[in-house]
Amino acid sequence: MAQGFLALILHAHLPYVRHPEYDHSLEEKWFFEAITECYIPLLMVFEKLRDEGVDFRLTFSLSPTLLAMMEDPLLQERYRKYLQGLQNLARLEEERTAGDPSFAPLARLYREHFDAAAAYLERYGGRLVPAFRRLAEENYLELITTASTHAYLPLLLLQPESIYAQLANAVQYHASLFGEPPRGLWLPECAYEHGLDEIISELGLQYIITATHGVLYATPRPKYGVYSPILTRSGVAVFGRDPETSKQVWSAQEGYPGDYDYREFYRDIAYDLPLEYIGPYLHPPGLRSDTGIKYYRITCEGLEYKEPYQPHRAREKAALHAGNFMFNRQQQVSYLASLMGRPPIVISPYDAELFGHWWFEGPQWLDFLFRKIAFDQADVKLITPGEYLDLGYPLQLAEPNPSSWGDKGYHEVWLNGSNDWLYRHLHKAAADMIRLATAHPRAEGLLERALRQAARELMLAQSSDWPFIMTSGTTVEYARSRAVSHLVRFRLLQRQIDEGNIDAEWLKRLEEADNIFPQLDYRLYQDFESSVPAGIAGVV
């Protein structure tokens, strides 16, 4: 009998970055890189474990924007071409490095990696959704959803209807792809605010995951800290993130991914080789940006001196780190179990894109970890939050604390001098959307299409990614232009609907450009009437 449980949760999300108007967009490349480097390698690890009879459990959150991109025929076709380009480049690299004892094996490694990705995708007809669905049906993965466009919910709670629409559409979209509604909800950025639980509960979602202090600072004080979920009055189970396991993986100083034997992310052949040679393979062509082919290991502090990557050394490290992680969990759950008198659950959520993209060896580490847990010990059992709830432990009633897993632990990353201007426009648009949906309960034809498109534009404007990028200072102009464009389009639609003067040709172009969620039901935005649920802040 295991002394305690470990719930590993990977959250996969990218904003909706589909740009048919450009042949090559840097933002679409975020998505392509994540497929090649994270999602396919992870799925391959999971399938191999299954085929070899290794029992494992993992919770996987797939954001609706990411799923919509995975299901989009244009992006599927573009990805196929992108991957072909990488396969060709890797072949060229094999020729270029032939005979070099350090680099030739690495060129081959990448070529094999890209070929395997292409073969994998071929097997599923270019779609990743069926691969996830199958692993879920076989009970290895518990698939959960998040807000439709990964909206930062606490700052939008002024119009609870817009939260309801973000979540209800996500649940419906998830159910349409995976055959059943999700049991759990990944809160975007683990961000919680008083009152969210009531909407979550109404939608039949059984659990959420918060930052450590979302549970630890709950009221009343939780007896078992973050090692047992709490239950809100509205009936949502709340799992709090374990600080120890997040530090072991995330910490810049002590975290595994910074090990000197691991592959260096910041040294890509895109920057090292002459433009005449590599130019045609870049995306967009001629512009130096990562190819994903990286030949060096981290080696030491700083970016100056780097030695060639040695896959066998990295592999040994991944095994060592997996063993260390498991050993620490054994100690942790034994200790906690002795204090608690019931098996503790350790909640370890990570961004899926860490695994394989930033931390090249991440999928390998997971592979080792799952094998070790299955065969080398009996103290820790892998579990999903849903399975844990099925065990039927009574849960302590408590109200979670508003929080997020962002810098400083609350809402500042998404609300500061760089992005606070956004919220007056988002709130105004949400209020207008509610008004329109309430005024037109049974729209048909062109009017229905305009209302649906207005809902799409609002949701796309609400992505947490835009204010996040404004804070992080990376592709600020892009984030700003996306947020502004969707809000402007929403306002144009709203005006046309109010004036009863919808421009059909323009609407058609808009539907093609911002084509997310074909089945989106604009009526999800109808007014909650005068009865705003208690605890939910509303404009007075």
H/E run at residue 141: strand 141-146
The correct pick among 36, 245, 364, 401 for binding other proteins (CB under 8 A) is 401
Q: Which of 28, 189, 290, 353 is catalytic?
A: 189
Closer of 236 and 298 to other proteins (Cβ)? 236
What residues between 158 and 187 interact with other proteins by CB under 8 A? 158, 161, 164-165, 168, 171-172, 175, 181
Please report whether residue 508 would count as binding other proteins according to CB under 8 A.
no
By CB under 8 A, residue 487 contacts other proteins: yes
Cβ proximity to other proteins, 105 vs 181, nearer residue: 181
Judged by CB under 8 A, which of 7, 489, 497, 516 binds other proteins?
Answer: 489
Q: Does 209 bind other proteins (CB under 8 A)?
A: no
State yes or no: residue 262 binds other proteins (CB under 8 A): no
Site for other proteins in 122-161 (CB under 8 A): 154-155, 158, 161
The region, left, alpha or beta by phi > 0 then psi within -120 to 50, assigned to residue 184 is: beta
Q: Is residue 501 a contact residue for other proteins (CB under 8 A)?
A: no
Q: How far apart are CA 165 and CA 171, in angstroms?
A: 10
For the bound state, the minimum distance from the C-beta of residue 535 to other proteins, rounded and expressed in Å, comes to 9
With binding defined as CB under 8 A, does residue 206 bind other proteins?
yes
50 binds other proteins (CB under 8 A): no
Among 409, 452, 460, 516, the residue binding other proteins under the rule CB under 8 A is: 409
When asked if residue 74 is in the footprint of other proteins (CB under 8 A), the reply is no
Is residue 342 involved in binding other proteins (CB under 8 A)? no
Which position among 72, 142, 193, 264 is part of the footprint of other proteins (CB under 8 A)? 193
**From 54, 423, 446, 478, residue interacting with other proteins (rule: CB under 8 A):** 423
Active site residue 448: no
Would you count residue 528 as binding other proteins (CB under 8 A)? yes
Determine whether 52 is an active site residue: no
What does the DSSP 8-state code read for residue 308?
Answer: B
State the Cα–Cα distance between residues 93 and 104, nearest whole angstrom.
8
Identify which of 89, 56, 178 has the alpha carbon closest to the alpha carbon of residue 127.
178
Cβ-based nearer residue to other proteins, 30 or 423: 423
- How far apart are alpha carbons 525 and 156 in whole angstroms? 13
Amino acid of residue 104: A
DSSP secondary structure letters along 95-112 = HHHTT-TTTHHHHHHHHH
Does residue 348 contact residue 384 with C-beta atoms inside 8 Å? no
> Counting contacts by CB under 8 A, is residue 334 touching other proteins?
no
Altogether, the residues listed in the chain come to a count of: 540
Q: Which stretch binds other proteins (CB under 8 A): 38-46, 267-275, 278-286, 482-490?
A: 482-490
Q: Is residue 492 near other proteins by the rule CB under 8 A?
A: yes
Neighbours of 27 (CB within 10 A): 17
Rounded CA separation 386/439 (Å): 39
**Token pair 């290895």: residue:** 140
Contacts of 138-141 spanning 24+ positions with Cβ under 8 A: 138/50, 139/57, 140/46, 140/49, 140/50, 140/56, 140/57, 140/58, 141/46, 141/57, 141/58, 141/59, 141/60
Tell me whether residue 72 or residue 193 sits nearer to other proteins (CB atom): 193
- State the CB neighbour count (10 A cutoff) for residue 141: 23
The residues annotated with a catalytic role in the active site are 189, 351
